[in-house]
Amino acid sequence: MSELTFDTLLDDGNYLGSERARLENQVILDELERKKKARNLAVPTDDNKVKARLREIGEPITLFGERPPDRRDRLIYVLSQINAARGDDTMQVDEESSDESSDDEVEEFYSPGSLELLEARRFLAEYSLPRAQKRVAQQRIESKMSLGRIIDIRKKVFSEVKSFANLGSQIGDERPVAQVRFSPNSKYLLTGSWAGNVKLWNVPDCTPIRTYRGHNDRVGGVAWHPQATVSLGEDVANFVSGAADLSVNLWSLSSETPLATMKGHADRVARVAFHSSGRYVASASFDTTWRLWDVVTSKELLLQEGHSKEVFSVEFQNDGALCASGGLDAIGRVWDLRTGRTAMVLDGHVQAIFGISFSPNGYQIATGSGDDTIRIWDMRSLKALYTIPAHMSNVSDVRFFYGDALPPNYSPPDVEMNGAGETDPDTKPADNDHDKALEEWKYRSGLYLASGGYDGFVKLWSADDWQLLRTLPTDGGKVMSVDLTHDGKMLASGTYNRNFQIFTPDGEGV
């Protein structure tokens, strides 16, 4: 299968290739257009006028169990159907209702963008398309797995997850530990605290390596470069931090002072995120915006509005095409970085959204809220899939498990060449074992998630039926953040009591 690129996407002749598929797609588009026009219809808000209008067009003025709002929705639907049948874009309505609706009409507007943003959007499209293609190809392979094999993998993975226990605890700083994040190689832990410090720790030993000082107020978020500690040099930007001093700092591992300080926010910076390409950073702020920064030039590329209150959390999808933001307005938004449009509105929580995480499958999102629940959203159906009553108090953070490309301690099978490129038959059983191990590891990614709450507990959940797997007590304080290593061997939590905890299967050292 040839790699999907931005250029080949434009000329892809296989998309909706059959006439039937094209007709079905046109029906969907026509329905979306009808709904769009229906939203713009001016209809009376007075229930008596709604009934009179229904009687005028020959519809029942009321149905069994119908409430006034339902009746008005039915009038809108009937009018939109009449318009569609007539081919009219608008329909005459009484003058009073038209005046009422004109006051609420909001004009769509666009903000001018820089050439740098245009180049970034094109890069993001070219970067994300082959990654999405690869992910979908892997999902097609997994969809063909036998039910028995899936059950065996789930039992094995969940039995290990259920054995997580406290390995140890360490005082992280002088003030609450706001966020904890494991390094991509799973050997280090980064902590950001309200003392304004970012600290690097060895894990699982919990011994300090270095303290990074560059903020003079509360650090709200830290995030690693995707290739840090793996293939990236220590002297370049390895991680980012955001703080209440309105700044976003880029750091190397070798220096205690920041490589660059990016300013622009007008209020406290909460969470930050590194794009999977390593070229961009996102920061969420209490100025009701989130911003996209260029790591190379340290310049602001995008100031994104869209929330009515403070923005607390921000996260990139692993493909690199989407970014999700969560605010104290209880609304989450998924943004298409390639176009700047809103891809989905996460509307359902009744309190602020504090944590947000994309599933490795690319289409599910978990949000943790002050209403004590975790909601799972499906971008394919554009609605909430499941609501987990997760904690007794605020859900402060949620994190899906993201596995490395290869299992821990994995070594490719030895292949002996006999004659003209033939493999030794004796190696086939070994290959089969390796294939099964690799298959199991790829299926494991995204199979469970962790959450932290102000009730002082860390919880692990299955990510297919959303059931509780394990409850882990911390130090009794509010859990501010949680994270999982990419090798699946450790879990960390940071608490309001200035500590962080490390959990491992059976509570044993790695």
Nearest to 450 by CA among 493, 405, 487, 400: 400
- Check residue 211 and give its pLDDT: 96
Mean pLDDT of 138-150: 92
Which two three-digit tokens encode residue 501? 């905890």
Q: What is the pTM of this model?
A: 0.78
If you average pLDDT over every residue of the chain, what do you get? Answer: 87
CA 181, 500, 219 angle in degrees (round to 5)? 60
Q: Give the length of the chain.
A: 510
Which two three-digit tokens encode residue 381? 């159906």
- Check residue 82 and give its pLDDT: 84
Q: pLDDT tens digits for 178-195?
A: 999 999 999 999 999 999
Distance (Å, whole) CA 303 – CA 497 = 34
**Given pLDDT bands bounded at 50, 70 and 90, which one contains residue 19?**
low
- Check residue 309 and give its pLDDT: 93
For residue 174, the Cα-to-chain-centroid distance in whole angstroms is 31
Q: Is the pLDDT of residue 245 over 50?
A: yes
Q: pLDDT tens digits for 215-230?
A: 999 999 999 999 999 9
Mean pLDDT of 115-141: 94
Q: What is the 3-state secondary structure (H, E, C) of 441-465?
A: HHHHCCCEEEEEECCCEEEEEECCC
Q: Specify the 3-state DSSP secondary structure of 347.
A: strand
Whole-Å CA distances, 212 to 6, 185, 254, 273: 40, 20, 10, 18
Are 269 and 221 in contact, with CB atoms under 8 Å apart? Answer: yes
Distance (Å, whole) CA 443 – CA 28 = 33
Q: pLDDT tens digits for 98-121?
A: 444 444 444 555 677 899 999 999
Q: Give the residue, 360 or 437, on which the prediction is more confident.
A: 360
Q: Is the pLDDT of residue 405 over 80?
A: no
Which two three-digit tokens encode residue 133? 């293609």
Q: pLDDT tens digits for 270-307?
A: 999 999 999 999 999 999 999 999 999 999 999 999 99
Distance (Å, whole) CA 238 – CA 229 = 8
- Check residue 427 and give its pLDDT: 39
Distance (Å, whole) CA 483 – CA 473 = 15
Nearest to 316 by CA among 345, 289, 281, 349: 281
Residues sharing a CB contact under 8 Å with residue 251, sequence separation 6 or more, in sequence order: 198, 212, 214, 237, 238, 239, 240, 241, 258, 259
Whole-Å CA distances, 198 to 239, 474, 503: 10, 21, 21
- Check residue 141 and give its pLDDT: 92
CA atoms within 13 A on the CB side of 19: 0
- Check residue 433 and give its pLDDT: 75
- Check residue 107 and give its pLDDT: 52
- Check residue 102 and give its pLDDT: 44
> Per mean pLDDT, which range of 25-39, 90-104, 323-337 is the poorest?
90-104
- Check residue 45 and give its pLDDT: 81
Q: Is the pLDDT of residue 196 over 80?
A: yes
